[in-house]
Structure 1
Amino acid sequence: MTHKALLLVASLAASLPLGAQAQTPDVDAELAALANDPRMAEAASVIAAQHDQRLQDLVTLTEIPAPPFEENERAEALAAMMRETGFGPVEIDEAGNVVARRVGAVGNRSVAVVAHIDTVFPAGTDVTVTVEGNRYTAPGIGDNTRGAIMLLELATAIAEAGITTDADLLLIGNVGEEGLGDLSGMRHLYREGADHPDSMIAIDGGEPQRLVTGAIGSNRYRVTYRGAGGHSWGDFGAGNPHHAAARAIALFDERVWPVTQEGDRSSYNIGRMGGGTSVNSIPFESWFEVDMRSGNPERLAALDEVFQETMQAGLTAENSQIAGGAPLTMEIEAIGQRPAGRGDTEWPLVRRAIAVLRDDGIEPQISASSTDANIPISLGVPAITISRCGSGGGAHSPDEYWIDDEDVVPCTVRGLEIVLLEAGLTD
C-alpha cells in the first residue's frame, strides 16, 4: 500500500462511527456479578499463589535477547511456559506471534490480550538481570517482558479456576512493537482478510491508573541525499549532500513548527543522521531519520505534506548553486508508519475498564499513546492498553528496572476482571 493510501485509510477509519455495538451493557451489574462469582475469587487466589514462580520466569525471559526481528528464541520459551498453564492450544504464527487460544462457550466473537515480547535493545546487549531486594534491573525487563509474564498469570488463573467465557479468548505474545518492528505482529493479526479479534486489550506501560484509549500515529522516514563526493579543495563547488540535508532540515523546522501549534497536539523530530568519510572530503551521501507524530490523522498528514515539500526544496536549493558536476539526488524511504486513531470512551470495553479501576479506588487517566492498540483503534475496533503492573523506570535504557511492589497482585487481578468482563463469564 502506498504512503498516501495509508494516510487515507487512517483518516477514513478515524471518521467511522465508533463504539457502535448491538447492545449497551450494564457495566455495574456485570461487575457486581463477577465479584460475586466464586471462580473469580479462586482465580485471584491463583494469581497470588503463582507470584514467586512468575518472578523466576521474569528473569528467565528477560535474559533471552529479543530485538525486533529476532524474537524467535524468546517466543519459543514463552510458548513452552504458556503450554504448561493448561490455558489451551498454543502456536507460533507466521509472523512469530505466540498465540494461545481458549475456545468460548458461544464463540461468535473473540477477545485478544496482547503483550509485545520484543525490546528496543540490539543484539549483543547484556541482558543479565540484577536483583536487589524487590528491584529487578535489566534492559527490557519492564518494557515489556513483565507484560509477557502477565499473560502467563492470566492464563494460569483462568485455567486453574476452570473459567469459561462466552467469547473465544486469545493470549498473544506479539512481535515487532518496538522501533522498526513497526507493529508487525499486530499488522499480521489485523491483515486484510484475517479473522481478527473483535476487541483487544494490550498490556504495556507501568502506571496502574493509565488507560490508553487513543492511538498516537507516527510517520518515520530515512532521507538520503547522494552525490559524487570529492576533495574539499580540489572539487569545491560540487554538490554537497550535507549542505542539501542542512537546507532541508532548516526549511522543515521553519515551516512545520507553525503546523504543530494548531489543532490537536503533534510533534516532529530528527533523531539520527550520518554520512561522510573525512573532514576534508565532500561526502558522497548524507542521511537522517525523521519521526512525526499525532493522534489526529489529519494533523499527521499535514506534517507529512510539509516534510515532503521541504525535502525536495532542500535538494533544489543545493542543486541550483553547484558550480559543476552532476546534480545531487534524493531518496525518501518510509521506515515506519503507525496509524493514528481517536478511539471512543463509550466503547463497552473502555467503560468496563474504567469501572474496574474505579471499583478499586483508582481514578483512570484516559490518554493516547503509541502502542499495539494503534492498529485496531485505527480500524475502529475496540482496543485499550492497560498497566503491566508493578512500578519501575528507565525504560529504553540499559538501567531499566522493574519493582515488585505490593500492588502487583491486585493490579493483575484488575486486569483479569477487565478481560472477563469483555469476554463474558459463562454461567
Structure 2
Amino acid sequence: MSSIDPSVSALSVWLALESPTHHTPGVNGMMDLVAKEVEGLPIAVERLPGRDGLGDSLILRAGVANGEPAVAVMSHLDTVHPVGTSARDLPVRVEGDKLYGPGVYDMKGGAWLALQAFKDVAKSGTAKRPLVFLFTGDEEIGSPTTRGVIEEIGRASAAVLVTEPAREGGKIVTARKGVGRFEVKFEGRPAHSGARHADGRSAIREAAHHILAIDGMTDYGRGITTSVALMGGGTAANVIPQHAWFSVDLRVTTAADGIEMAKRILGLKPHDPDVRISISGGMNRPPYEKTPAVAALFETARGVAAGVGFELQDCPMTGGGSDGNFTAAFGVPTLDGLGIDGAGAHTLSEYALISSIAPRRALIKGLLETI
C-alpha cells in the first residue's frame, strides 16, 4: 500500500495489529506502536500498566511548560472486532477513496491522524499551552479502568479534543446522551413443569413483566430510551425456571433525567411477591451537553477549519457515548467526533475516507496551536 499514499501505508500498519478490548497483547502492541512513533521527539511518554486483565494506557506530553491548563487529546486504541476479523471478514484494503479494516473508522484512523498532528506541533513548538495526549484501551466496554485518568486529565485542561469518528459528511460532535447500564436478576421457585406446575414461581415470567415495564419507560419526546438486549434464564424445558436475568441500556439527554430514570429502574418491585428481584448498576456516562463553552470552542474550530479550506459543522445530540462524556460533565469545553470520516462502525463493512485524513489532521493541528 506504500505506493498509494504514505498515510494509508502507515495507518494500515495500525489496522493490521488487531486490538479488541480484551486482547491485551493487541492493545499493548498498539501502545508500543505509538511510543515508537514519538521516539526522539520532544514528547514525554508515560505508560500506565493495565489492570483487571485489560491493556495499558499511554500519556504523551509536549508543548510549553508555562503553567497554563493543557489542551488534551483523547483516543482509544481498542476495537470491537475479534482477532482474525482482518483475515476472514474485513481485510485491510483500499477501494477508491475507501480504506477498509477493523477499527479504521472507530477509531484508529482518528487516533493516527491526531498523533501526526500532535507530533507536528511538538516538533514546531507552536503550541500556546501544554499538550497532553491520552491513549486508552478499554473505551469500547465503558472505560472501566481508565475513567479516573480521563477525568484527572480533563479537570486540568482548558479544552479536550476527542478523536472519535466524524459523523455523516464530516460533522463533529458537540453533545452526547448520557448512558446508564443495569443488571436485573430474578430468583423464583423451581418445580416440575408437568407434575408440580402450581408449586413453581417462574423467574422468566417475572422478568417478562419487567421487560415490558422498562421498555415502556422510553420517551422519545424527552430523548429518553430504554432497551433490553441481553437476557437469559431457566435450566431445562420441563422445569419452572428458578433464575432469570437481563441487562438494561438507558440513554438520557440531561443529568436530571439520568437521576430520575436510574431511580425508577433501581426501584422496580416484584410483580409476584414470591419472586425476589435484585438490581445493580447506574449511570455509566453522564450526558455531554452543548454548553456555551462548548459552543464557543466549536466556533474556534469552525474558524480553524475555514483556514484549512472546508466548512465544519456539528450534528444534533447523538445517542452514543464516549470518553468526552466524562470531561464535558466537569464543564470542560469538549469537542468530539474530530476523527476520520467514513462509515460502518462496529460492522464488517467499516471503512474510512482517505480524502478526509489530511484536512482532519490539519484541523487538529490548528486547534492545538490556537486554543
- Shared fold per TM-score greater than 0.5: yes
Residue among 61, 64, 86 paired with 1:127: 86
Is structure 2 residue 16 aligned with structure 1 residue 63? yes
**Alignment partner for residue 367 of structure 1, among 313, 316, 322?**
316
Q: Compared with structure 1, are the counterparts of its residues 85 and 302 closer, same or farther at alpha carbon in structure 2 (3 Å cutoff)?
A: farther
Q: Which amino acid aligns with 2:136?
A: N
Counterpart of 1:356? Answer: 304
- In 1, the alpha carbon distance for the partners of 2:33 and 2:292 equals 33
State yes or no: 1:86 paired with 2:49.
no
Compute the displacement of 1:227 (Å).
3.1
Aligned to 2:272: 318
Contact 2:232 2:244 in 1 (8 A): yes
Query: Match for 1:217: what amino acid?
Result: G
Paired with 2:347 and 2:288, the residues of 1 have a C-alpha distance of 28
2:32 corresponding residue in structure 1: 77
Among 234, 248, 268, the residue aligned to 2:210: 248
**Deviations 1:304-348, CA, capped at 9 Å, x for gaps:** 233234x32xx2x223xxxxxxx3322222276111132424454
Contact 1:111 1:170 in 2 (8 A): yes
Q: Aligned in 2, Cα 1:69/1:409: closer, same or farther, shift over 3 Å? A: same
Distance 1:171 1:87 in 2: 13
C-alpha contact 2:75 2:134 (8 A) present in aligned 1: yes
Is this contact kept in 2: 1:174–1:185, CA < 8 A? yes
Specify the code of the residue in structure 1 equivalent to 2:272. E
Q: Quick one: distance in 2 between partners of 1:68 and 1:148?
A: 16
1:85: how far off?
6.8
Q: Secondary structure at the match of 2:231?
A: strand
Could you say if the C-alpha distance between residues 194 and 141 of structure 1 is closer, same or farther in structure 2, counting changes exceeding 3 Å? Answer: closer
Please give the alpha-carbon distance, in whole angstroms, between the structure 1 residues aligned to 2:225 and 2:21.
24
Contact in 1 for aligned 2:100/2:350 (Cα 8 Å): yes
Q: Which residue of 2 aligns with 1:15?
A: none
**What is the CA–CA distance in structure 1 between the aligned matches of 2:353 and 2:155, rounded to whole Å?**
38
Q: 2:345 aligns with which of 384, 395, 416?
A: 395
- Where do 5+ consecutive residues of structure 2 fail to align? 51-55
- In the alignment, the residues of structure 2 paired with residue 184 and residue 303 of structure 1 have an alpha-carbon distance, to the nearest angstrom, of 25
TM-fit CA distance, 1:172: 1.9
With over 3 angstroms needed to count, the CA separation of the structure-2 counterparts of 1:182 and 1:234, relative to structure 1, is farther
Please state how far the C-alpha of 1:176 moved relative to its aligned partner: 2.0
1:300 partner amino acid: G
Q: Give the counterpart letter for 2:21 in structure 1.
A: P
- Give the equivalent residue in structure 2 for 1:211: 172
Match of 2:77 among 117, 121, 127: 117
Q: Which residue of 2 is the match for residue 173 of structure 1?
A: 135
Contact 1:213 / 1:345 at 8 angstroms: preserved in 2? no
Q: Distance in 2 between matches of 1:328 and 1:230?
A: 14
Would the aligned equivalents of 2:127 and 2:370 in 1 still touch at CA under 8 Å?
A: no
Q: How does 1:149-298 map to 2 (within 5 A)?
A: 149-160=112-123, 162-178=124-140, 180-182=141-143, 184-191=145-152, 196-207=156-167, 209-237=170-198, 238-254=200-216, 256-257=217-218, 260-262=219-221, 264-298=222-256
Among 59, 64, 78, which residue is 1:104 paired with? 64
Partner of 1:344: 291
SS in 2 for 1:198: strand
| One-letter amino acid matched to 2:286 | P
Distance 1:376 1:140 in 2: 23
Counterpart contact for 1:222–1:335, Cα < 8 Å:
no
1:83 offset after TM fit, Å? 2.3
Conserved 8 A contact 1:241-1:328: yes
Distance of 1:235 and 1:286 partners within structure 2: 20
Q: Distance in 1 between matches of 2:40 and 2:107?
A: 20
Identity of counterpart residues, as a percentage? 21
Distance between the aligned counterparts of 1:223 and 1:125, measured in 2? 33
Matched residues in 2 for 1:380 and 1:150: separation?
Answer: 27
Alignment-mate amino acid for residue 89 of structure 1: A
TM-score computed with the length of structure 2 as normaliser = 0.84
Q: Which amino acid aligns with 2:353?
A: I
What CA distance in whole angstroms lies between the structure 2 residues aligned with 1:203 and 1:221? 28
The alignment status of 1:415 with 2:356, answered yes or no, reads no
Change in 2 beyond 3 A, CA 1:384/1:148 = same
Query: What is the number of residues matched between the two proteins?
Result: 353
Note closer, same or farther for the CA distance 1:144–1:379 as it changes in structure 2 (3 Å cut): same
Provide the TM-score with structure 1 as the length reference: 0.74
Q: What is the CA distance between 1:109 and its match in structure 2?
A: 1.5
Structural RMSD (CA): 2.8
